[in-house]
Structure 1
C-alpha cells in the first residue's frame, strides 16, 4: 500500500496547489505514478520537496511519463529565432535538449553550459508602462500570463511542465501591482511563479459567456513570439496593448503550410476530473472563430473580449504564488492553468532553475471533440 500523501497548500482553494510527501521519484512505481498524476489533475499544481539531486535526464523522463509518446521540447526550435521574445530567457542543457535552464545572474558552469548569464524576465522590457526604477526592488508585476506552448506548426501544447529550483537567493517579499485601475495588489515572495486555474476561470463566467467560449475557437498568430516582439503588454500581464506595433506579416519568417497556424478551442477538458478550463494564451491571440463560421478579426476587439473573459480569474484571491525553496520540484497541468513569471532581482541575486515540457502527442481536448464523440 502506498504511503504517499497529498496535502492541499491552501485548504480554502484545494483545486490549486498541493504538496506531495513520501514519494520516491527515482523509482516511481506505476501505482505511485498514478497517484501523482491524479493529484496533478485534481490540484493543477503539485510540489515535491527536496529534489536537488534529480538529474536533467530523470526530470525529462518524469515529465514524459505524463505523455509517453511526446518527444521534443514544447517549443521545438522556435526559441532559436533571434527575434523571439523567448530567445533570451532560456538556455538548453546540451546533453538533455528537452530541459532548459532559466534564472538570474552569472553562472560559471552548469550541466555542460559554461559562463552563462541568466536574465530573469523583467516587466520593463515587455510592458507598455513600468514601475519607476526607485521602486523596483520593493514592487513588481506579473510579467506575462501564458500557457507553455509554441502555438504554431505541429507542436501541440505540452500537457505538463516541470520546474526544479536548483538555487534560489535569500528570501524577501515584494508587492505586486496590477496597475490596471483596479487598485489590486498582492504580497508575493521574490521570484514566485504565479498560477491561476483555468477551471475557476471558466466556472465564474456568466452563462452567456460560457456559451460563447464553449462554441468559439482562438486563432493564434503565425510565429507568435516573433509577431509580438515589437509590441507591448498590458500592466497586468494579461495580453497586449493594441497600437499596431506587431511585426507585419511580410516581415515574419515564412509560413510553410497554412495548417501551421493553430486554431484551438477556448475551453480544454481535464482528463481526470472532466472539468472545463478556459485555456487561452492572451498575448498571442489574433482572431476568434465563432459558432456558425463567422470570424472576429479586429485585433483590438479580440484582445478586449479575451481580457474581459480572463481578468476575473487573476484577481488576487484566485492567484497561487508559489513560495520557492531550494529543491522544490513543481509539476503543473499546462492544459488547465495559466502562469506568470514574477519578480525583480538585483544583479547579484543568483537564481537557477530547470524547466522541462514536451510538445504533446495529441492536441487538447475541447468541447467540439467531445460532442463529435458523443454523436
Structure 2
C-alpha cells in the first residue's frame, strides 16, 4: 500500500494531483514522443541547373534520410524539431552540409546545388559495342569531355573545344580562316603520307567522313570539307576519345588513327526548360608582316613602296546565338535547339555563316526497348581565300 500511494501521486506546480496507477504507462508514452517536422526541397547541378536524381540525404544524429527522385525532389519526414544539419552526398559530386531549422508539425523548404567533384573513381564510358563499361576496366586509353567543359571553351567548332583538354592529342589550327579555320587532330601522330592521319569521327553512332585530300589546298582551312564545323558545340552532351590499338579492334582499320565519339544531348526529365546563349567577339590581325619601305633600291635610285596590309585585313565581328528547349518524363524525353553563327574573317573577302536546328526524341517503348529519333538540319555559307601554304598562289603568297 505504501508503494502504490507513492506512485499514485504526482506533484504539479506545488499542487497534489492523484492519477490512477493504470494511467501511468500512457502518460510516460506521451512524454516520450518528441515533436517532429518535415523538410522538402530540390537538389540541382550547380553548373547546368538540372535536377539531380539519386542524391542521398541524412539528418545528422538521426536515422531520418531520403533519396531524390528523377526531378531532384526529396522529402524528409519525421525530422526532430530545432536546429538540425542535413548532409547530401552523390557519386561524382562534392558532399554538402546545410543547416536547417525544423518546426514542429510544419514543413521547411531546403533547395541545394551540388558541385561536380574533380575526382571520379568509377567513370563510365560507352565503347564501340554501345555497352556502358567502367573506364578502369577498358584496356585502352580513353579520355572523356563533358558538356560543362565544352561550354567553358566558348569555341565555334567541336575540334576547337577539344584543344588543350585531351592528354596526348595534338590539335592545332593551321589558319585563321572563319568558321573554325583549319583544324588538324592527331591522336597517334602521323601514320600515313597517303591516306591521312585524321581520327575516325562518330556522331551518335553514325560515322562521319572528315577527310578530303583533293580539296586540302583550296581554302582557308587545311580541309574545307570539315564536317565538324557544322556541329553546334552547345548540342553536345559529351565527347569520348579512344586512342591506342584497341580503337582499331572496336571499329576496324579505319580507326588506326584513333576514334572521336560525339554524343548529343537527349534532354532530361522535368518541366520544359529554356536556355538562350549569345556570344559576340572581335577578330583582328595579331601582327602585320614587316615590309621594306626604304625609298631607294639597291642601285640608289628612288622607288615607290606600298604596304597594302591595311587594305587587306580588317577588324571583323563574330556572333553566335543558341536557343534550346528540353524536358520530358519517365517515358519520353526531348531536346530541341536552334543556332545561328556569323563569323567574319580578318580578310575582307572571307566569311562564314551557319544556321542549324536539331531535334532529339527518346521514347521508352518497353522495359528493354528504347527508340531514339535524331533530326539535324545545317546550312552553311562559307567564303574562303587561297592562302598558298604549300603552293605559290593566293593573296598571301603574292
Fold-level similarity (TM above 0.5): no
- Higher-strand-fraction structure: 2
Name the structure with the higher helix share: 1
Structure showing greater relative contact order (alpha-carbon pairs closer than 8 Å, 6 or more residues apart):
1
Which structure has the greater CA radius of gyration? 2
TM-score, with length taken from structure 2: 0.21
